[in-house]
A and B are shown apart, each in its own frame.
Chain A
Amino acid sequence: MVEKVIEVKELTKKYGNLSAVDHISFDVYRGEIFSLVGPNGAGKTTTVEILECLRKPTSGVARVFGLDVVHDEEKIKKKIGVVPQEFNTFNRLTVKENVDLVAKIYGVKSGLKQNLKRLGLWEIKDKKFEALSGGTKRRVGIAMALAGKPELLFLDEPTTGLDPQARRELWETIRSLKKMGVTIFLTTHYMEEVEALSDRASIIVKGKLFTTGTVSELVSKYGGDIKIVVKGERRAETVIKRFTKNVFVGEQGNIIGTFPNRRDVAKALLSLYKLSGKCRINVVEPTMEDVFLRVVGGRIDESGELIS
């Protein structure tokens, strides 16, 4: 049985009458990348900071490595690494000095060079933090979080504000960390990021957890129908109707059929290929964005705001 690294039951955090986190429950298992996905103000950072022992829960249980976040703060902090949202550190220290500082706090004396090399920071180790680009600063943040050789790494919105290239480079870094055996707890509002990285994910909105599961489970459960879009072949409508009742003619005369299961999709595709070699066929799979739309009833824009 896979070991639970994080165990959250009925966790609640209130600020006055406002529930930032409202009776949420989920587990995170060793070696996986777990994503907590939701818009700004959903309660992601509050949840992460409770697990990092930076906030006290109002009620409920939060355990990290079986240790209570309220009573075993010191023991938990020795086993985790943290990259906070909008990460920052001592501007006038170099990359190496910043990473070394955290290593010393954890009492770790070896592995500095390996850590910096792994994150592509060895060549710029003597550069001051303030002189680095946004993406490189985040990598320094991860290097600092890894300096204490943690078993669990918290990444709070690690790619927010980065350009697409820097974001993808950081994804590669996160994948490589998973290969090293580090369990990763990620918060994000990018659905693409959840699909690209996560083994499992939870959707949180306004402090409430809507659902938890693997990405494929969530997509198949909430993502909705698979679509086949055929362009330039009128006869496709008759063919598709043999496998599904939901066929309609869309913009520019495209024939669109929606399928509740994959088996019918495969059969329809075979028949369509036999029909003509000239038509253009696209299969549109549901995404986490569709999952979010169905579960929450809205979308998240680029800046992380919920659009109903």
Chain B
Amino acid sequence: MFPAMLLLIFGTVFGGAGAQTYTLHVQNLDLVDGEPTELSSALINILDSTGTFKIENLPADVDIADYVREHPSFTDYRILVIPENFQQKAMDKSIYVRAGVILDTLSFVVENYGYTMTENQVGSIENGMDVLKMWRENMGSENAEILLLTDEGDTAAPIVRGVISSVINAFNNEMIGVEAVVSVSENQLTQRSFKAVDYYLPGYIAAFIMTNGIIGVTSNISEFRRNGVIKRLAATPLQKSSWIIGNLAHQVLLAFMLMLAMIALGWLIFGVQAIPGPYALLLIFMGTVVFCSIGMVLGGIFKDVEAASAAGNAIAFPMMFLSGAFWPVEMMPDFMQGVARCMPLYYFHDGLRQIMIYQNPTQALVPFAILGVLAAVFVYLAIKITKWKEL
């Protein structure tokens, strides 16, 4: 259950089921005969069409300060107020700006290309410019200002502000008829289009296998020893190495089954597409062997079940959170990044990510090598430390 819960919690929190949306309350005061003006409605529709906001309309007669006070649950509020005469001011300002652009353009042409014209032509243009200047000065130059109110504790406010600014910029450009000069094109480096939850999935799989090995196997082995099951087996012709390898095979099978369950759950709920191929399965096999043999070593060292369990927890939990399984290592301070890179779990989830997300097994060569060496070392130690005599 634990890994499934982990997937559900992190998948939901970190953008698994669709993109994140933010509630935006909009009070439109730009009305004509009680109806919203064309331009203010267009602005609201554009904000709505971004998919970033869930638009909630506030009636024009509502006092915002009272409304916030009377709705205690109205925390993290984001309110956009479109003022009266918004459409009129926006239209006036757009004409004013357009006229300014024309004047600037004509001035630029006369200054730089006047020598190609006759004196009459230059004089006509300058006369026209004088007339346009006079007309422009009589136009309103006040901005159509909209008001964004946010709560000081709202951590999403910068995101909301950024998206609204982008929409307003685009709106402004459209109003004055600006065509794009510089544009940004977007492409994805990976072949498939992955969601955030896809990037976390290798981390969840690796973390589950690690906790199952270091916490689960440690307590199991310790319990088997305490209640005499190992002594019972040791009195049969079963070899110690067969017991170790049998346990590892059992854990590998369990890990594969749980990985399938997690992927199935991820696919059903979040639509994950990161499906492990042969290289990922090989790395999962190696990771399972590493962490289960670490568990067998701990179970062999600690005679007391509680002590073994505590030792497993003391190793597994810091590793789970410090190795960057649940978030990018780059987000962590430099020192902590160094700590993460000392942990076997880091190489496990990093290798899985390279294979499952970036489709680049060659980048997983270091994780393969490190996990391979660790697997050999810990299997050897597990065989050496597990007692088959003098139990």
Contact = CB atoms under 8 A, between A and B. Distances in A.
A148 B236 contact: yes
Contacts of B227: 88
Given A54-B389, A55-B390, A56-B390, A87 B232 contact: yes
A84 B234 CA distance: 11
Contacts of B389: 53-56
A106 B236 CA distance: 8
Contacts of A210: none
B237 A106 contact: yes
A54 B228 contact: no
Interface in B22-64: none
B18 to A, nearest CB: 41
B231 A54 contact: yes
A88 B232 contact: yes
Task: Give the contact-size bracket for chain B.
Answer: 10 to 19
Contacts of B234: 54
A86 B391 CA distance: 14
B189 interface: no
B331 interface: no
Contact of B229 (A53, A82, A85, A88): A88
Interface in B227-260: 227-229, 231-238
Nearest to A154: B235
B229 A77 contact: no
Contacts of A144: 232
Nearest to B227: A88
A133 interface: no
Contacts of B236: 77, 82, 102, 105-106, 148
A77 B233 CA distance: 11
B390 A84 contact: no
A84 B228 contact: yes
A158 to B, nearest CB: 14
Contact of A105 (B229, B231, B238, B390): B238
A52 interface: yes
A54 B232 CA distance: 10
Given A54-B389, A54-B391, A88-B227, A105 B237 contact: yes
A273 interface: no
Interface string B217-232: 0000000000111011
Interface string B373-391: 0000000000000000111
A248 interface: no
Contacts of A87: 228, 232
A88 B232 CA distance: 8
Nearest to A80: B235
B237 A84 contact: no
Interface in A212-243: none
Interface in A33-86: 52-56, 74, 77-78, 80, 82, 84-86
Contacts of A88: 227-229, 232
A106 B234 CA distance: 12
Contacts of B237: 74, 77-78, 105-106, 148
B227 to A, nearest CB: 4
Interface residues of A, number: 22
Contacts of A78: 237
A246 interface: no
A254 B390 CA distance: 55
Given A56-B390, A105-B238, A106-B237, A86 B232 contact: no
B232 A82 contact: yes
B354 to A, nearest CB: 38
Contacts of B238: 105
A89 interface: yes
User: Which of B229, B231, B232, B390 has the most chain A CB atoms closer than 10 A to its own CB?
Assistant: B232
Contacts of A106: 236-237
A55 to B, nearest CB: 6
B253 to A, nearest CB: 16
A84 B233 CA distance: 10
A187 B390 CA distance: 19
A278 B237 CA distance: 65
B335 to A, nearest CB: 45
Given A77-B237, A105-B238, A89 B232 contact: yes
Contacts of B228: 84-88
A235 B231 CA distance: 63
Interface in B315-373: none
Nearest to A102: B236
Nearest to B235: A82
Interface in B278-313: none
Q: Which of B229, B233, B236 has the most CB of A within 10 A?
A: B236
Nearest to A85: B228
A3 B390 CA distance: 30
Greatest chain A CB density within 10 A among B229, B231, B235 is at B235
A53 to B, nearest CB: 8
A54 B229 contact: no
A307 B229 CA distance: 32
Nearest to A15: B390
A53 B233 CA distance: 12
A99 to B, nearest CB: 12
B229 A90 contact: yes
Nearest to B236: A105
A13 to B, nearest CB: 10
Given A84-B235, A102-B236, 15 more contacts: A52-B235, A54-B234, A54-B235, A54-B389, A54-B390, A54-B391, A56-B390, A78-B237, A80-B235, A82-B236, A105-B233, A105-B238, A106-B237, A148-B236, A148-B237
29 contacts: A52-B235, A53-B389, A54-B231, A54-B234, A54-B235, A54-B389, A54-B390, A54-B391, A56-B389, A77-B235, A77-B236, A78-B237, A80-B235, A82-B236, A84-B228, A84-B232, A84-B235, A87-B228, A87-B232, A88-B228, A88-B232, A89-B229, A90-B229, A102-B236, A105-B233, A105-B236, A106-B236, A144-B232, A148-B236
